[in-house]
Structure 1
Amino acid sequence: MNYKYLLASFLVLLIGCEQPAPLTFENIHLSLIDDPDCSSQPCPIIDIDYPVALGEDEVSISISTGLENRIIESFQINPDGPKANTVEDAIAQFTQGYRADKAEFPDMNAQYEVSIILEESFRNEKLICFRQGDFKYTGGAHGNGVTLYQYFDLQSGQEFEFDKLIADRDGLANLAEEKFRAKFNIGPSESINSPGFWFEEELFALPETFGLEEDQLMLVYNTYEIASYADGTVEVAIPLNEVSEYLNLE
């Protein structure tokens, strides 16, 4: 028997079955606190934390690019204006815009601000999810906070929308309404708007934002979606073991 041939064949098979290295990240923190220009010129408040995938493979690059693009979008004041190519460019453009407004309105006391915390919230063999908490102030009575989620396929690195994970939207909506009513003590025969919500035609509706976090699905209604600014973000958590039959997570 040719043992060398068998050993070589086994090694080829073993190498072919090796799993890719697990996706790992390092955290990036950006601010203007130590920027020397801010000692002589007005600067906005910038506080950014976000992960960058380590590695030069296609999946790592695709995910890092997707995360950075979302942060860049968060800095956009004028949707028709030029788009920055990097997060650093976005900060520079935002700073220039603030200085221009400050020069035009010198009595403006409040500083513009962008604060972003972006972090991994869920991962399985199929996908990875990131939660992004944003706060932005560009003048006016108050700033605006928003919670967003991003989903990436771990095989391709491509970003996709949560709707791709919904297997039974009606079933999900029925369970979500049950959980929503239970959290806010709304009886089954009461109007869904009885605590002061703004659902159209008094009919429950799923939120625009869904998040996967460890062992639960988050329903996130951002400011003004179903309630006033004073009410802030409205969130309802559903355990994954109760909602999994309506989702394609595996």
Structure 2
Amino acid sequence: MMLAKSMLLAASLLLMTGCKLELPLLSGSSISGPLTLETVTFERAGGPQCPDVAGTTPENIRCASLRLIYPKIVAAGTPAAAAAMNQYIQAQLLEYSDAEGKPPATADELASMFVADYNDVPEAVGLWEMVREVEVSFASEHLATLAIRESGYIGGAHPFSGQRYAVFDVNTGQQLTLKDLLVAGYEEGLNKAGEQAFRRERGLGANTSLEEAGFWFANGMFKVNTNVGVSGNGLVFNFNPYEVAPYALGPTEFTVGYDAINALIPDGSLLAALAR
């Protein structure tokens, strides 16, 4: 039975696209410094009735598709930094496991697992889809921000989507946190500045109750999360759907400008060159 299933899966998988595109890092854009990269696209679909099969219609389609779009870091401040960033990117793209908890080692294995999960659901109809995209959203002489996005549909009432950020020292490859970038005891000041930026983004007055506006903060007190990226203008925070609000309110992304937290940035921080 397992052999027959494996043969069916192998026969149903179709490699659609695999390409690399050299992207120049243009001065004046949000990307500068030592990073150079290639963009890689991987697409694969499989299932009993995929779009390439004769007679497939929106009514009878039964297929699962995977799409990965990501940068291959060709060079950074050091070869070790490039290797560390590439390793992190691959780990995010391949975050998945089979029924025994085994993670995929390659994009091909990830596609096989995703299609197998679709085929294992007897009532699965229509199109399952998973799209994972990693983008260098900002880079400078010292810092780079990766934006990791995931979206798709695997049944249920809603599609899924989310975005998270990761910040790296482009000269060492170390992943950095707020503790690495700001002064000790930054939390109170950052939460205050963050709440002001959050309220502006959501169109909420200073005295509007967050709870009555539909947001779920512990004890009704605003607090930034750790989903943060570095940009040329400030720290970018993102709350994904369901994180602090119902699905209907969607995600919230807001920027805390460097001028609002200048006192929280020590002179020795890698942020100092951007903020001052």
Relative to the length of structure 1, the TM-score reads 0.77
Helix, strand or coil at the partner of 1:83:
coil
Output aligned runs, 1:113-124, within 5 Å.
Answer: 113-124=129-140
**Cα gap change, 1:47 to 1:169, in 2 (>3 Å):** same
Residue of 66, 73, 77 corresponding to 1:53:
73
> Cα offset for 1:147?
0.7
Q: Distance in 2 between matches of 1:241 and 1:88?
A: 46
Output aligned runs, 1:208-247, within 5 Å.
Answer: 208-247=226-265
RMSD, matched Cα: 2.8
2:144 maps to 1:128: yes
Cα-to-partner distance string for 1:22-58 (whole Å, 9 max, x where unaligned): 22100001112699x9546954122221000115922
Cα-to-partner distance string for 1:116-144 (whole Å, 9 max, x where unaligned): 22111122222211111211422222222
Structure 1: runs of 5 or more not aligned: 1-20
**Cα gap change, 1:87 to 1:181, in 2 (>3 Å):** same
2:175 maps to 1:159: yes
Contact 2:44–2:111 (CA<8 Å) still a contact in 1?
no
Look up the match of 1:12. Answer: none
Percent sequence identity over matched residues? 24
> Cα offset for 1:241?
3.6
**Cα gap change, 1:34 to 1:191, in 2 (>3 Å):** closer
Residue of 194, 214, 224 corresponding to 1:206:
224
**Cα gap change, 1:72 to 1:222, in 2 (>3 Å):** same
Q: Distance in 2 between matches of 1:178 and 1:100?
A: 48
**Cα gap change, 1:226 to 1:217, in 2 (>3 Å):** same
Q: Distance in 2 between matches of 1:213 and 1:162?
A: 14
Residue of 29, 32, 38 corresponding to 2:41:
29
Q: Specify the code of the residue in structure 1 equivalent to 2:254.
A: V
Look up the match of 1:71. Answer: 93
**Cα gap change, 1:114 to 1:34, in 2 (>3 Å):** closer
> Cα offset for 1:244?
4.0
Q: Specify the code of the residue in structure 2 equivalent to 1:26.
A: E
Q: How many residues align?
A: 223
Look up the match of 1:17. Answer: none
Output aligned runs, 1:140-159, within 5 Å.
Answer: 140-159=156-175
> Cα offset for 1:77?
7.2
> Cα offset for 1:205?
1.4
**Cα gap change, 1:34 to 1:192, in 2 (>3 Å):** closer
Residue of 96, 100, 125 corresponding to 2:120:
100
Look up the match of 1:179. Answer: 197
Greater displacement, 49-58 / 199-208:
49-58
Look up the match of 1:16. Answer: none
Contact 1:223–1:233 (CA<8 Å) still a contact in 2?
yes
Q: Distance in 2 between matches of 1:58 and 1:94?
A: 32
Look up the match of 2:125. Answer: 109
Question: Per residue, is there more strand in 1 or in 2?
Answer: 2
Contact 2:62–2:124 (CA<8 Å) still a contact in 1?
no
Cα-to-partner distance string for 1:180-215 (whole Å, 9 max, x where unaligned): 233334333332223211212111111241122332
Structure 2: runs of 5 or more not aligned: 1-32, 54-60
**Cα gap change, 1:183 to 1:57, in 2 (>3 Å):** closer
